[in-house]
């Protein structure tokens, strides 16, 4: 009887191990728990677990964002991560933080699909008399937070300011504070404006526009923006939906440029896993878009726009099946 029980227990153990081995466990790197990336990553994981529970088990992890996620995907610590398209582009082309990284690693980065647009959003106090970005020229009494050193926001801001021939600390006083801390500083009068590359609606801008100090969003509309996009192909024209910010002075949507939040992976991740993840999101797109207002304009077609790394074979296979590639 003891031998039979021993054999039976071993058989159960063998079967359970086989089931575990047949299921793929994947982690999705997101961002801070208060941002857009975290709930979006959680929604992707939930859809995968619902529709492919026998083959894939996904989980979302809070991380420091784009750069961390890309590096973790390249090292194999994460199978997926959410990253801005400019950071995706820089990694693939061995630029910025990846200028000294082994190219054999960065060339493994793959795009899975695009998510929401992240607009370069410029808010300024109305009392400074500035109505366009060109008005910043020679405004030595204006203090603007252009983003912390090393942040995507700061890099985006410098690219745009150079396009308009405006120099921080020459034409205006600049600060290098985290954009998420800017709202209170603006309302307290310690800064006069700030820039934040972010999806909308944004809690930071809701707070900043609802104070006693009146504010307005600055338009980046310019006939030469195409030249900026030609120079930096990861940028795209977009708008700030003013309907999210009823207390701002603006009455219409504000033209600007932005990057795209994208889901990335590595060529080392299996085609089947990526295919199943993409399928679970695309075939439940209406439900997925309800996760956060920033996803309201997401379409099947836009999911393959703004990608600055090669599509993963698994994603390519699915998008071909539905006629988008």
DSSP element (H, E) containing 119 = strand 109-125
| pLDDT, tens only, 150-169 | 777 888 999 999 999 999 99
The whole-angstrom separation of Cα 127 and Cα 61 is: 42
| pTM as predicted | 0.77
**SS3 call for 35:** coil
Token pair, residue 215, equals 């504010």
The whole-angstrom separation of Cα 4 and Cα 11 is: 10
- Select from 3.40.190.10, 3.40.50.620, 2.60.40.420, 3.40.50.300 the CATH code of 118-259: 3.40.190.10
**SS3 call for 157:** helix
The whole-angstrom separation of Cα 264 and Cα 288 is: 18
Beta pairing partners, 10 = none
Token pair, residue 236, equals 């795209």
The whole-angstrom separation of Cα 302 and Cα 23 is: 30
Q: What is the pLDDT of residue 12?
A: 39
Let me know if the fold of 22-117+260-321 is the same as that of 118-259. yes
The whole-angstrom separation of Cα 140 and Cα 169 is: 8
The whole-angstrom separation of Cα 126 and Cα 209 is: 11
Beta pairing partners, 26 = 58
CATH for 22-117+260-321 is 3.40.190.10
The whole-angstrom separation of Cα 311 and Cα 75 is: 19
| pLDDT, tens only, 75-128 | 999 999 999 899 999 999 999 889 999 999 999 999 999 999 899 999 999 999
């Amino acid at each position: 009887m003891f031998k039979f029980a021993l054999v039976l227990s071993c058989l159960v153990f063998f079967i359970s191990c086989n089931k575990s081995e047949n299921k793929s466990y994947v982690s999705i790197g997101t961002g801070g728990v208060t941002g857009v990336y975290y709930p979006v990553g959680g929604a992707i994981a939930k859809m995968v677990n619902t529709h492919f529970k026998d083959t894939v088990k996904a989980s979302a992890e809070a991380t420091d964002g784009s750069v961390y996620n890309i590096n973790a995907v390249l090292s194999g610590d994460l199978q997926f991560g959410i990253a801005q398209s400019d950071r995706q582009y820089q990694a693939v082309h061995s630029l910025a933080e990846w200028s000294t990284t082994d190219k054999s690693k960065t060339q493994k980065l793959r795009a899975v699909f695009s998510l929401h647009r992240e607009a370069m959003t410029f808010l300024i106090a109305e009392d400074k008399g500035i109505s366009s970005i060109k008005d910043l020229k020679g405004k030595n009494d204006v203090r603007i937070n252009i983003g912390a050193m090393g942040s995507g926001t700061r890099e985006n801001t410098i690219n745009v300011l150079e396009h308009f021939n405006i120099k921080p600390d020459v034409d205006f006083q600049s600060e290098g504070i985290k954009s998420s801390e800017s709202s209170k500083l603006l309302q307290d009068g310690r800064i006069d404006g700030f820039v934040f590359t972010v999806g909308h609606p944004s809690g930071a801008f809701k707070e900043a526009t609802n104070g006693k100090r009146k504010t307005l969003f600055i338009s980046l509309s310019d006939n030469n923006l195409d030249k900026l996009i030609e120079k930096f192909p990861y940028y795209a024209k977009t708008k700030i939906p003013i309907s999210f910010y009823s207390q701002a002075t603006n009455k219409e949507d504000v033209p600007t440029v932005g990057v795209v939040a994208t889901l990335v992976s590595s060529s080392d991740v299996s085609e089947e896993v990526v295919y199943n993840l993409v399928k679970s999101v695309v075939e439940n797109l209406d439900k997925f878009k309800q996760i956060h207002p920033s996803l309201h304009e997401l379409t099947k077609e836009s999911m393959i726009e703004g990608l600055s790394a090669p599509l993963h074979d698994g994603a390519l296979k699915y998008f071909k099946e539905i006629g988008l590639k």
